[in-house]
Amino acid sequence: MTATSALEVHSISFSYNAGRLLKEISFSVAAGELIALIGPNGSGKTTLLKIMLGLLAPSWGEVTLLGLPLTSYPPRTRAKTIAYVSQQPALSFPLTVRELVALGRYPHGARGKESSADKLAIVIALERAAATELCNRQFNSLSGGERQKVLIARALAQSAQVLLLDEPTLHLDLNFQLQILSALKRLCIEDGITVITVLHDMNLVSLFADKALLLSGGILRGFGPIAEVINEASIKELLDVAMKPISGDGSEPRYFVPRRPFLK
């Protein structure tokens, strides 16, 4: 753990009535890093995101945000500092895209009357999420990929320094997956925003993430640079899938292809 960390998780455990779900999780994320949170269904990924956001209180341990305990932040200050994009909701929003993105300015005091700072933040959020061309459309008329970009823009309008996303590429075609992850990567590189996102595609992880956090059975199985923690053995152990690595020329990321599963 270092003083320059954007977010730190200290020995977090979490229990439901049925038993413990997370067990003594610890890691530290630096400003400007894109972290891929990887694990099988039911491994505790969404629960961990909600604890990092403050929506759930851990049974043990502590989360620190920019060097301060997360619990020390007043709700409005916390909303200015850390933002969340959940799995694509089924709910409808009878608003235009711009109106919906403007809701992200609520923690900054917007009450129907936008300041010049609010207006600028909305424009920048739409640009960074590659959603400017959607500005005047009704949210309910958008495709799944377009909606996801707008929800990311709403989170960006909060001007938060840490962004948590739960499967932002779920159900999206490859073009939208690449658009969304490219936009997130630019935020890390150009603005120093820290991104922690649940991903399932190992090749997208290799292409975009700086580090991977491997979670299974509520236990942290690995955390570190992609080249160190993502390999044939770790994928097999984590996801029970046999993958064949394909190495690039040294400057390209390493990719993985599933082995033919039913051949001996």
pLDDT exceeds cutoff 50 at 264: no
Q: What is the pLDDT of residues 164-216, one digit of tens each?
A: 999 988 878 898 899 889 989 999 999 999 999 999 999 999 999 999 999 99
pLDDT at 88: 62
pLDDT at 3: 47
| 200 touches 39 (CB < 8 A) | no
- Residue of 183 and 30 predicted with greater confidence: 30
pLDDT at 113: 78
Q: What is the pLDDT of residues 221-242, one digit of tens each?
A: 999 999 899 999 999 999 988 8
pLDDT band (50, 70, 90) for residue 250: low
Q: What is the pLDDT of residues 92-129, one digit of tens each?
A: 778 999 999 999 998 887 566 788 999 999 999 999 88
| 255 touches 206 (CB < 8 A) | yes
pLDDT at 244: 86
DSSP state of 96: B
Task: Considering the domain delimited by 5-258, tell me its CATH architecture.
Answer: 3-Layer(aba) Sandwich (3.40)
CA distance 163 to 143: 23
Which stretch of DSSP H or E encloses residue 69? Answer: strand 68-69
pLDDT at 253: 75
pLDDT at 188: 94
pLDDT at 173: 86
Terminal alpha carbon distance of the chain: 45
According to DSSP, the β-strands at 162-165 and 255-258 are unpaired
- Residue of 162 and 256 predicted with greater confidence: 162
Residue 2: count of CB within 10 angstroms of its CB: 8
Q: What is the mean pLDDT of residues 154-168?
A: 92
Instruction: Establish how many alpha carbons lie within 13 A of residue 214's alpha carbon, considering only the half-sphere containing its beta carbon.
Output: 18
User: φ and ψ at 131, to 5 degrees?
Assistant: -125, 15
Task: Give SS3 for 188.
Answer: helix
pLDDT at 36: 98
pLDDT at 112: 64
pLDDT at 108: 85
According to DSSP, the β-strands at 243-246 and 34-38 are unpaired
Q: What is the pLDDT of residues 47-92, one digit of tens each?
A: 999 999 999 999 999 999 999 999 999 998 998 899 999 876 656 7
